[in-house]
Amino acid sequence: MLAGVPASTLALLVVLSLFAGIGITAVGPGGVFITIALVALTDLPPPLVVGTASATFVTTGLVGTASYRRSGELNSRAGQWMAGVLSLTGLAGALVGVRLNALVDAATFRVLLGVFISLSGVLVYYRTRHASVEDAYDVTTVRGTLGIAGIGAFVGVSGGLLGVGGPVLAVPLLVAVGVPMLVAVGVAQVQSVFVAAFATIGYLAQDAVSWTLAVAIGIPEIVGVVAGWKVAQSVNSRRLTRALAALLLILGPYIMLR
């Protein structure tokens, strides 16, 4: 038993973490499955769920950032500017989210997480319908910067409150406004580092991070992140993304009614 989690449950969490890591860099939404798994398979309180999940997202974000920098999506001026704006506003939002989590009981947390998951499913499906329509989005204009800042703040609050990681919402929202798919996934990796780091610090202050559990699920998650980046570079992910959207839409109500 590790951190109060039976060995059989931990084994399942490890497997799910591998696939969650693949989702993070292949299609964006992926980290949310860590939170879902911890809520559905364990009796950990909400702060410990979010704190532990956030701790794993720091490392996956760093690995994802390095991967997308290597493939060039983060080397342009626009990509770097977008990553910076998303990170700064996401950081502020994460601190707000951590404070809000302390006001939420377990039942309300499940409802909020279920609603969030369902919304993510809708956004992911929307992306599959409109991903090929990538209008030029100039992030260096005042209007463009404000739009990216709004997305960053919203994603940060959601990450700090529910422990879902930045890419799950950032990628669909960025693509929806016209950011190319791989660029959106790349800059979302950068933002996730800052959102997760400050969320983790906030939960550490509450002694709500299980480092042993974070390491156990974080290692396979990192392996999945590298594999997911390779998938994103070589495979048309439209069908995979639609299947992911359907799964999110099923899991959302399940978490709410659990």
pLDDT digits (tens, 9 = 90+) for 3-46: 678 888 899 999 999 999 998 888 777 888 898 899 889 989 98
Residues constituting the chain: 258
Is residue 40 domain-resident?
Answer: yes
The predicted structure's pLDDT at residue 67? 93
- Mean pLDDT along residues 59-67: 94
What is the rounded CA–CA span in Å between residue 126 and residue 34? 23
pLDDT, mean of residues 57-76? 91
User: Sign (positive/negative) of CA torsion 221, 199, 190, 181?
Assistant: positive
In the structure encoding, which two tokens stand for residue 181, read together? Answer: 């798919």
| Predicted pLDDT of residue 133 | 47
Q: pLDDT at position 1, please?
A: 58
Chain-wide mean pLDDT for the chain? Answer: 83
- The band of 237, judged by pLDDT with boundaries at 50, 70 and 90, is low
- Going by C-alpha positions, the residue among 96, 94, 61, 55 that lies closest to residue 192 is 61
pLDDT tens-digit readout, 125-179: 776 676 554 455 677 788 888 989 998 898 888 778 877 667 777 887 787 777 7
Q: Which residues contact 73 (CB under 8 A, 6 or more apart)?
A: 79, 182, 183, 185, 186, 187
Average pLDDT over residues 209-235: 92
Cα distance from N-terminal residue to C-terminal residue, the chain:
24
The pLDDT value given to residue 3: 63
Residue at 33 is within a domain: yes
Number of domains in the chain: 1
pLDDT for res 20: 92
Query: From start to end of the chain, where are the E strands?
Result: none
Has residue 183 been placed in a domain?
Answer: yes
Is 62 within the bounds of a domain?
A: yes
pLDDT band at 58 (very low <50, low <70, confident <90, very high): very high
Residue 39: its pLDDT value, please? 87
pTM over 0.85: no
Domain residue limits at 194: 7-257
What pLDDT does residue 220 have?
96
Alpha-carbon distance 166 to 150, whole Å? 13
In this predicted structure, what is the pLDDT of residue 138?
74
- Whether 1 is in a domain gets the answer no
What is the reported pLDDT for 258?
62
> Which range, 111-125, 182-196, 208-222, is most confident?
208-222
154 lies in a domain?
A: yes
pLDDT score, position 134: 47
Confidence category of residue 221, pLDDT binned at 50, 70, 90: very high
pLDDT of 219: 96
Question: Is the residue at 2 inside a domain?
Answer: no
Q: State pLDDT tens for residues 78-130.
A: 888 989 998 899 888 888 888 888 788 878 887 887 887 788 778 777 766 76
